[in-house]
């Protein structure tokens, strides 16, 4: 499991120059940096200097994998800063290698002219593991998306929370939610296909997120349970597409996201061959 404090440490960006930062990585037990970490760091970096605004939309393109053993360098290019809206481009690199580039749109809160929002009634969040201090995930129905022989619809609901996350810091809550949105839509796309599961990722299958867009609708606390309701609406040509809605325990829609990903057979590698490009 990943501790909430480890993620918060990765969000404590160290200034190394004007609009330049360095940050450590979260150890998720994989050979690459978790993409959710890079999105979370992009939100925090893009929001610096924009007090009174929170993230509205994050759009991230994943160019290359980041190595977990080296810190990441984060560069912010301020595009616009106004009374109600601001925007910035955030580039995360290691050495000369660009790993991700994100556009962060920030927004101040304004009064309603009109209002509506999807709601989910009758949600029953799981009981938290008290004192764990971890990023907790509970898949509804105990679906195992790793098992290749289990088949189901291209849908997946996951409860998530970050025990110990600070209350009253909306940017940190947005960053933590971004962290959690990266991990389930590829598995959701695999569910209808017998013989394909996440256990094969990076073994016999090449998988990876290509782009991810996350939009925030309402403020929320990442320390409390949030339901991620995933659905993959298309897979083909070595790619998958999915979307999800995020609800709080009262059933209020707080965020939405979409993701394009790669799912293809792993190319055979000759001895001494380098890593293939995406």
Residue 130 has what pLDDT? 67
- Domain membership of residue 125 (yes or no) is no
Residue 66 has what pLDDT? 96
Mean pLDDT by 10 residues, the chain (278 residues): 95 98 93 96 98 97 96 98 97 97 98 96 86 91 84 95 96 98 94 85 86 98 98 96 98 98 77 34
> The CATH number of the domain where 218 resides is what?
2.40.160.210
207 contacts 201 by C-beta, under 8 angstroms: yes
Burial class (CB in 10 A: 0-12, 13-18, 19+), 232: buried
208 contacts 72 by C-beta, under 8 angstroms: no
- Domain membership of residue 270 (yes or no) is no
Residue 271 has what pLDDT? 38
CA 228 – CA 206 distance, rounded (Å): 25
Looking at the chain, how many residues does it have? 278
Residue 23 has what pLDDT? 98
Residue 150 has what pLDDT? 83
- Domain membership of residue 174 (yes or no) is yes
Residue 31 has what pLDDT? 85
Domain residues for the domain of 79 are 4-108+134-265
- Domain membership of residue 208 (yes or no) is yes
- Domain membership of residue 273 (yes or no) is no
Number of domains present in the structure of the chain: 1
- Domain membership of residue 173 (yes or no) is yes
- Domain membership of residue 272 (yes or no) is no
257 contacts 246 by C-beta, under 8 angstroms: yes
Average pLDDT value over all residues in the chain? 92
- Domain membership of residue 129 (yes or no) is no
Residue 275 has what pLDDT? 32
């Amino acid at each position: 499991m990943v501790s909430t404090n480890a993620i918060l440490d990765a969000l404590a960006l160290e200034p190394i120059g004007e609009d330049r930062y360095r940050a450590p990585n979260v150890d998720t037990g994989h050979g690459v940096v978790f993409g959710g970490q890079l999105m979370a760091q992009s939100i925090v970096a893009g929001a610096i200097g924009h007090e009174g605004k929170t993230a509205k939309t994050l759009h991230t393109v994943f160019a290359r994998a980041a190595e977990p053993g080296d810190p990441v360098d984060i560069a912010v290019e301020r595009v616009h800063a106004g009374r109600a809206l601001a925007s910035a481009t955030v580039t995360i690199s290691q050495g000369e290698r660009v790993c991700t580039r994100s556009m962060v749109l920030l927004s101040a809160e304004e009064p309603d002219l009109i209002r509506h929002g999807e709601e989910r009634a009758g949600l029953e969040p799981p009981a938290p593991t008290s004192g764990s201090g971890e990023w907790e995930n509970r898949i509804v129905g105990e679906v195992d998306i790793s098992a290749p022989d289990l088949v189901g619809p291209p849908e997946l609901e996951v409860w998530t929370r970050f025990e110990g996350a600070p209350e009253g810091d909306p940017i940190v809550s947005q960053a933590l939610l971004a962290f959690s949105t990266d991990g389930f839509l590829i598995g959701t796309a695999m569910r209808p296909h017998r013989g394909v599961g996440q256990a094969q990722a990076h073994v016999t299958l090449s998988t990876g997120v290509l782009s991810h867009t996350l939009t925030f609708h309402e403020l929320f606390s990442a320390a409390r349970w949030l339901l991620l309701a995933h659905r993959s609406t298309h897979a083909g040509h070595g790619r998958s597409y999915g979307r999800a809605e995020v609800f709080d325990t009262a059933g209020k829609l707080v965020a939405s996201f979409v993701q394009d990903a790669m799912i293809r057979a792993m190319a055979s590698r000759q001895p001494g061959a380098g890593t293939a490009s995406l």
